[in-house]
A and B are shown apart, each in its own frame.
Chain A
Amino acid sequence: MTADPVETATRTRYDADTLAALTADATAIMERYPNPRSGLLPMLHLVQSIDGYVSRDGILFCAEMLGITAAEVSAVATFYTQYKRHPNGTYTVGVCTNTLCAVMGGDAIFDELSEHLGVGHDETTDDGAITLERVECNAACDYAPVVMVNWEFFDNQTPETATALADKLRLGEDVAPTRGAASVCSFKQMSRVLAGFNDGRADEDAGTGEPTLAGLRIARERGWTAPDGPDSEPDRRGETITGEPGSSAERRPTTPSDTQVGKDKKPGEDAK
């Protein structure tokens, strides 16, 4: 039997155009790494950008691209919370209910949203607009309580702002995060960015929040700065060669290794 073309050898059920596009993107992903297997996580994000979740076809596709088994792909896909095992809504609305956000109001926000939308954790509204989740700490504690929509920051939320946000999302209106891009993109668009394909929106800016600048504002008001560096910072080209003025050889000994010549040097280091 002669070898079939790749397109017909696949066990996936993607149509030819989709498969060709996926293959080109997956190839670009694998080329970023010395070992192509490192591309699996972005490749699973890529699959979600087409299917809206990690589908059977997506698992087979990754396995075929990497030459590993579907079981090996599934083992990875089921480990990470961002990989969805059933079709996700257009928007993931994640309410932080880790301790700090929870006590500051996150629990109340989740309860209100859950009742308002009629869905619980990791469930999707009937219209397919919103998948509601409780999320763990998302590194925005100074803006608690925090809600994430497709992993953009909605800071300092209340039950009222969160339900109003959810209503807008269900109506298909654009919503803007408090920090992030000018508007929230869809779950599939987001997944493509997470696969490493820049969507060119990095320069969009919903604003820098006050907590981010809290310390800096005080330092500016009071004229506080870090200490000045050495007075002259001219081009010291050449001066850092060992033995010349200003080099490490002139530095005052501060650690034992400074006075034990060669102790830090490993065999072969001189060869560099």
Chain B
Amino acid sequence: MTLTPVLTDTWDKDRSWRLATYERAGGYAGLKKALKTEPADLVQAVKDSGLRGRGGAGFPTGMKWGFLPPPDGGPRYLVVNADESEPGTCKDIPLMLASPQHLIEGVAITSYAIGCDHAFIYVRGEVLHVYRRLLNAVEEAYKAGYLGKNILGSGYNLDVTVHAGAGAYICGEETALLDSLEGLRGQPRLKPPFPAVAGLYARPTVVNNVESIASVPAIVAKGADWFSSMGTEKSQGHGLFSLSGHVTRPGQYEAPLGITLRELLDLAGGVRQGHELKFWTPGGSSTPIFTAEHLDVPLDYESVGAAGSMLGTRALQIFDETVCVVRAVSRWTDFYAHESCGKCTPCREGTYWLKQVLHRIEAGEGQDSDLDLLLDLCDNILGRAFCALGDGATSPITSSVQLFREEYQAHIDGHGCPFDPSASALFAYTPKTRTPGALAGAGAGGH
């Protein structure tokens, strides 16, 4: 399978982030065409394209737009989720840094399609230069007449506000994002009502991921059939695959959905020289881990799901045989405990206990009953938490215990970790003596 640069196609151009660069590459052809098209036909085109949400859940984008109730004369909103924070996920940030106009054009087309005259881009606050690029891109688009009043003479008006968050993973959950955008603590809302019915300021709202919205201009300009000519029957189009970790050439690989990790690793020069693949995540830390047995699983929504995980955000974190799976999972668990918003008990208390148990196993103080205790805790979180954060926290634990139970047991039986942490680093160093508490990471602080 060959790579298919669409969103990445301008990234190697001089000053790729500028509007002029984007226009020279054919940018804003989609918006020009869209403004001459009935909004309902645009929604239909995106439905026909098969585009599914690129932020992890994979919900059909056009269908999400179609859920908006009929216009009642009041405002409707588009909110772009640019709060990219899922561990391993690193696609939207380079996209917005290198080619923010892809997103801005997508915002303009989508807003027109759903009847919105004020759109918001919620970008995480921890990426200063990305925020600068977005602010600048919006200013450039206003000056060129792609945003603002009477866009390109169409009579359509659109304002875009770029909003910086302030550090909270949970704000990637769409209803928590909306609460945060309303100036509140970012905690998820009870659904229903879904944002399509009562979202921002309790008005009909579409919340879409950056890559989803950035994919819209080419769908409009080149047609739904063009988009669906890439990918598989049910997972259509192109997507950014982000390789990281113990791989020779980590980075962004834009390919049709359905490419395999084996193919991607071939392109990326393979696993770190002299080492072999131990485990990997197909879609970020919240997706159950895979091993070398899964190298040929097509990376599309259906195939990854059938193999027991989730395509998620195509965040392919590669870990070789030097990595202790207990250490890896324990650290992810610190993350979930730190980022749990505290609204619901299973997640707030459950992630805290998972963290304690994993820490003691890692420190060589685990008990024989601890593995069953971990699984029991996961059983009490999965499906019982208020939002997907709690479910996600259990994925790495249950999948790794299933695949590497003997490695957990070795920590318990041997009263410590059998791995040398320096072997997995990219440089030589002598590990400093640490106290167990030092492993708590940022999770020690809590919100």
Is A266 a contact partner of B69 (Cβ separation < 8 A)?
yes
Interface membership of chain A positions 217-255, coded 1 if the CB is closer than 8 angstroms to chain B and 0 otherwise: 111101011110110010011101110000110010011
Residues in A neighbouring B243, C-beta threshold 8 A: 142, 214
Selected from A152, A195, A214, A233, the residue in CB contact (under 8 A) with B129 is A152
User: How many residues from B make CB contacts under 8 Å with A?
Assistant: 130
Q: Which residues of B contact A (CB under 8 A)?
A: 2-6, 8-9, 11-12, 15-18, 29, 33, 36-41, 43-45, 47-48, 66, 69-72, 75, 84-90, 92-94, 97-98, 115, 118, 124-129, 131-133, 135-137, 139, 161-169, 180-186, 201, 218, 221-224, 226, 229-230, 238, 241-246, 249-255, 267-268, 285, 315, 317, 319, 323, 327-329, 331-332, 335, 338-339, 341, 421-422, 424-427, 429, 431-432, 434, 438, 441-442, 444-445, 447
- A137 at interface, CB cutoff 8 A: yes
Q: Do residues A34 and B128 form an inter-chain contact, with CB atoms below 8 A?
A: no
Distance of B445 from chain A, by nearest CB (Å): 6
A13-50 contacts to B (CB < 8 Å)? 32-35, 37-42, 44-45
Kindly identify, within residues 96 to 110 of chain A, every residue whose CB is under 8 Å from any CB belonging to chain B: 97-100, 102-105, 107-108
Q: Decide if A38 touches B15 in the complex (CB within 8 Å).
A: no
**Interchain CA distance A136-B447 in the complex, whole Å:** 13
User: Of all chain A residues, which has the CB nearest B68?
Assistant: A266
Q: Is the CB of A4 closer than 8 A to any CB of chain B? A: no
Rounded to whole Å, the gap between the CB of B268 and the closest CB of chain A is 7
Nearest residue (CB) in A for B39 is: A272
Min CB distance B102 to A, Å, is 14
**Nearest chain B CB to A186 CB, angstrom units:** 12
Cβ of A264 within 8 Å of any chain B Cβ, yes or no, is: yes
Within 8 A of B (CB), among A132-191: 133-145, 148, 150-153, 156, 158-159, 177, 179-181, 190
Interface pair B69/A139, CB less than 8 Å apart: no
Q: A144-B245, A151-B128, A202-B132 are in contact. Are A229 and B222 (CB under 8 A)?
A: yes
Interface residues of A (CB under 8 A from B): 32-35, 37-42, 44-45, 66, 75-76, 78-83, 94, 97-100, 102-105, 107-108, 111-112, 115, 121-122, 133-145, 148, 150-153, 156, 158-159, 177, 179-181, 190, 193-196, 198-199, 201-203, 205, 208, 210-220, 222, 224-227, 229-230, 233, 236-238, 240-242, 247-248, 251, 254-255, 257, 264-269, 271-272
Task: Compute how far the CA of A256 lies from the CA of B309 in the bound complex, rounded to whole angstroms.
Answer: 29
Q: Which 3 A-B pairs have the closest CB atoms?
A: A214-B251, A229-B222, A211-B251
Please report the C-alpha to C-alpha distance between residue A199 and residue B128 in the assembled complex, in whole angstroms: 11
Tell me the smallest distance from the CB of B173 to a CB of chain A, in Å: 14
Q: Which residues of B contact A268 (CB under 8 A)?
A: 70-72
